Amino acid sequence: MSEVVDLSDRRRPQRIWLAAGAWTVVVSVIALILRVEEGLPLVRVVLSTSVWYYTLGALVWAACSLDVRFELSRGTLVRALVVHVAIGLAALAVWMAGIHRPPLTPSLFWLC
């Protein structure tokens, strides 16, 4: 089935910059907390937390895009909750398996 595209239709502006700014604030705060509390080198802390949180942000963005693209939350409330929990758990599993390292002490911090 083909879809009609109206090129004159003004789309809502993307909010990617707002999301990127929010993730940057999170990265900055976490990096400063680790720098102050653990005495870790600031450059390495910023790099590590950037990889950690921007990867999580990309997975959240992908989950939201899937929801919009396939209209996964349409239907009953129970179906929407089940779909959102399933997507969230899948994204969390990918993140935990691929990138998650607990930044608790210098010996556990993965770029130090």
pLDDT band for 24, please (50, 70, 90 cuts): very high
Query: Domain extents for the chain?
Result: 16-98
Q: Which helix (H) or strand (E) holds 93?
A: helix 77-98
Summarised one tens digit per residue, pLDDT across range 52-75 is 888 888 888 888 787 777 777 677
In this structure, how many other beta carbons lie within 10 angstroms of the beta carbon of residue 38? 15
